[in-house]
């Protein structure tokens, strides 16, 4: 499952790379920084990325999730820090049904 989720996150990042003109997001890996310290995305770009990822999860995995929930916003280490932490968080949400 984690591989499938990472594939979704990477696909969204590649689209964002083109749209934002940020080549550093074109070949993403788990450590690719998204938001916050060393992040490649500003708040609006993060909002767009999360919307894109939610729709890809709905399309590819058949599950409707909301990434920006209370828990995500209050965690000490943001789940939106890197591609890997985002994938971990999606896996957690999916495991909770």
Helix H or strand E segment including 58: helix 43-61
Smallest distance, another protein to C-beta of residue 20, A:
13
33-72 mask for another protein (x: CB under 8 A)? -----------x--xx-xxx-xx--xx----xxx------
Q: Is 21 left (phi over 0), alpha (psi -120 to 50) or beta?
A: left
Closest CA to 22 of 31, 13, 10, 30: 13
Smallest distance, another protein to C-beta of residue 16, A:
11
Smallest distance, another protein to C-beta of residue 64, A:
5
Closest CB to another protein among 37 and 43?
A: 43
Q: Binders of another protein: how many residues, by CB under 8 A?
A: 13
> CA geometry: angle at 84 spanning 78 and 85, to 5°?
20
Query: In which residue are the tokens 């920084």 written?
Result: 33
Q: Which residues bind another protein (CB under 8 A)?
A: 44, 47-48, 50-52, 54-55, 58-59, 64-66
């Amino acid at each position: 499952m984690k591989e499938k989720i990472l594939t979704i996150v990477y696909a969204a990042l590649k689209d964002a790379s083109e749209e934002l003109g940020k080549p550093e997001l074109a070949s993403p890996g788990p450590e690719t920084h998204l938001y916050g310290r060393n992040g490649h995305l500003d708040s609006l770009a993060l909002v767009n990325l999360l919307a894109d990822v939610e729709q890809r999860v709905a399309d590819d995995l058949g599950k409707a999730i909301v990434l920006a929930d209370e828990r995500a916003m209050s965690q000490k280490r943001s789940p939106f820090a890197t591609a890997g932490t985002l994938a971990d968080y999606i896996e957690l949400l999916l495991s909770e049904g």
